[in-house]
Amino acid sequence: MKKILILFAHPAFQKSLINKTLMEAIKDLEGVTINNLYEKYPDFFIDVPAEQKLLTEHDIIIWHHPFYWYSAPAIIKEWMDLVLEHNFAYGTNGRALQGKWAMSCISTGGRKEVYSAEGKNRYTINQFLTPYIQSANLCRMKYLPPYVVHGSHLLNSEQIKKHADDYRTVIELLRDNKIDAQRLNTIEYMNEIIEHDA
């Protein structure tokens, strides 16, 4: 069984029905640790040794946050700047994260079709996530396709529940090592395993 660390960041969590529902769906899962960064560090004074210890104790790291201005809320960047230190996470002697998996779980206000070369936002989700993909690569981690909830403000209660159930399925499959790591390079494969297990 793989141990999963959810690095959760939402500065307005109580207003986000989709993220509350996603978190509710996974909070009781064995082997899953939820690290709520805004709750833990309201002053942004991040305990770097404690965070690094958490990273070394887990096999899969998930950045879970709303997609703010085509990126993440500020505390995620602060966490990355401080915690992913040279000679810990990267560099000649920085191999603490080598071989671990990384992934993003994000919610967007925009519909799926706006995240394309032809769409309003001009770029795909994976293009916007390039800093996370490359950060994982630099740390010698494998970056998995993101779990994305599009058009979060437009979803009805049934659709929200479906996303939450799917998210739980993905987390369980990752935890139980039931995913083909060699094929984990496309969003299509992630969608395929969700539908297969539904």
pLDDT tens-digit readout, 88-120: 999 999 999 999 999 999 999 878 888 888 888
- For the record, the structure tokens of 73 come out as 């809320």
Q: Out of 9-13, 48-52, 80-84, 166-170, which region has the weakest mean confidence (pLDDT)?
A: 9-13
C-alpha 188/C-alpha 198 separation (Å) is 15
pTM for this structure?
0.89
Which residues, at least 6 apart from 63, have a Cβ–Cβ distance to it below 8 Å?
7, 9, 72, 76, 102, 103, 104, 105, 132
> In b/e form, how buried is each residue of 129-147, taking b as 16+ CB within 10 angstroms?
beebbebbeebebebbbbb
- The whole-number average pLDDT for the span 45-74 is 96
C-alpha 131/C-alpha 138 separation (Å) is 10
The residue among 129, 132, 152 whose CA lies nearest residue 142 is 132
**Virtual torsion, Cα 129, 47, 59, 101, nearest 10 deg:** 10
pLDDT in tens, 152-175: 888 899 999 999 999 999 999 999
